[in-house]
Amino acid sequence: QVQLVESGGGLVQAGNSLRLSCVASGPMFSMGWFRQAPGKEREFVAAIAWSNTEYSDSVKGRFTISRDNAKKTVYLQMNNLGPEDTAVYLCAARMNWDIGTLAGEYYRWGQGTQVTVSS
């Protein structure tokens, strides 16, 4: 069974950057990042298979998802952050190598890490 632990969240000023990490304790196939702001639905952010990636329109060009299989870690590099990026960011794991943008396609989730961007 896979267990996911996120880290790297924090408080930053608009225009700055953060890098989130997600460490898997079990098998790591395709992985995804989602985010959820207070009062809003969970939103797809980015996903990665072995090397193929997919991004939401709201983060494309600013965020980069990557993975280090030796470290069993998935990263989300977030550049040029704005207040609209404030949310709890959650790492999620699939049980195969398909890429998906729907939360229901992922079977394991981390507990989330808070990202807060001030104006």
Q: What is the pLDDT of residues 39-60, one digit of tens each?
A: 999 999 999 999 999 999 999 9
Residues in the chain with pLDDT values less than 50: none
First to last CA, the chain: 40
pLDDT score at 95 = 95
The pLDDT assigned to 110 comes to: 97
Beta-carbon contacts of 78 under 8 Å, excluding residues fewer than 6 positions away, are 17, 18, 19, 20, 59, 62, 63, 85, 115
Q: What was the pLDDT predicted at 90?
A: 98
> What pLDDT is attached to residue 2?
84
Amino acid in the structure at residue 108 = R
